[in-house]
Copies of this chain bind each other. A is one copy, B any other.
C-alpha cells in the first residue's frame, strides 16, 4: 500500500521548486488576477481516507470542469440518446475554441467538452429546466454535498463582456439550427456555469459519483452505472482539449481540466483527485497540474490501463 500523503507532499515540494509555472489566461480579465504560486491537491479514496496538501481549501474558478457536471445533469434529465442527436462523442484533435470543425460538420459539435458542445448542453438544460441557473447550482451543491458553493458573478460578467469566441460559436450553432434558445440566454447560463467556484476538496467530492457508479457522497444515485461509464469515457478521450491523448498516455485516468487551473481525475472504484495550479501550458491545461497527476499515477502505479 502506498503512502499517499508522502506522495502528495513530494509532488508539492517539486512543484514549488519549479520556476516555470505556466501562464494565467489573460482573455478572461478576472482570471488574470490570480496568483500563480497557488498549488493544492485533494485526494479522496473511496475506501474512506482523504489526503491533501497546499492550497486545497482555496476556491478557484472551475471553468470548463463544469462541462462534466452539466453533461451529468443533462444525462440525468434526458438520457444519452436525445443528447447524442445534437452532438458527437469523438475527440476533436483541435484546440478548444476551433470553429472550423463545427462549420465543416454543419453545426454538430464533436463532443460535449469543447465549448460548442457545452453550449449545446447549456441550451438543452435551459429547455428542460424552469430556473436553469438556480437548479444547476443546486445540482452541483447536492453532488458535492456542500450548500456553500456559488457562482462568481464578476467572473460571469467578465466573460459575457469579452467572450467573443463563444458568441461566435453560439451564433454559428444557431445558424445550423442546433440552438433552441436565444444566444444571449444560453451564453448567460453558460458563463454562470463556468464561473462556479470550488476548492479542491469540493471538486473531488462533486466528482465522487463518477468513481462510485453514479452514487454521490450523500448516498443518492444520480446516474446509472452505464451513464457513468460513458461520461468517464468522454473525459478520457476529450477531457483535455488537444492534449487528451497525451493525458491518457502519460496519466491514464479520465479527467477534466479548466482554464482556472483546476484538474480533476479519477480511477473508478478507487479514488478522485483534484489538483489546482493557476498557470497554464500552451494547450490551456494547468502546467503543474498535468505534471502532478502524471507523477501521482507513476508513483502510486494506479491507472485504468
Contact = CB atoms under 8 A, between A and B. Distances in A.
Contacts of A111: 245
A192 B35 CA distance: 47
Interface string A14-55: 000000000000000000000000000000000000000000
A160 interface: no
Most buried by B among A89, A93, A110, A301: A93
Contacts of A101: 93
A175 interface: yes
Interface in A256-305: 268, 298, 301, 303-305
Contact of A246 (B89, B171, B246, B249): B89
A186 B242 CA distance: 30
Most buried by B among A93, A100, A243, A305: A305
A91 interface: yes
Nearest to A94: B93
A243 B204 CA distance: 30
B168 A99 contact: yes
A81 interface: no
A156 interface: no
A237 to B, nearest CB: 5
Contact of A91 (B93, B103, B174): B93
Interface residues of A, number: 52
Given A164-B172, A236-B237, A244 B305 contact: no
Contacts of A175: 164-165, 168
A139 interface: no
B164 A168 contact: no
A164 to B, nearest CB: 4
A249 B230 contact: yes
A92 interface: yes
A174 B304 CA distance: 37
Given A100-B104, A168-B172, A171-B171, 16 more contacts: A89-B245, A91-B244, A93-B110, A99-B168, A100-B103, A164-B172, A164-B183, A165-B172, A167-B171, A168-B169, A229-B252, A229-B305, A233-B248, A233-B252, A236-B236, A254-B305
7 contacts: A88-B245, A99-B172, A168-B168, A230-B249, A233-B245, A233-B252, A234-B248
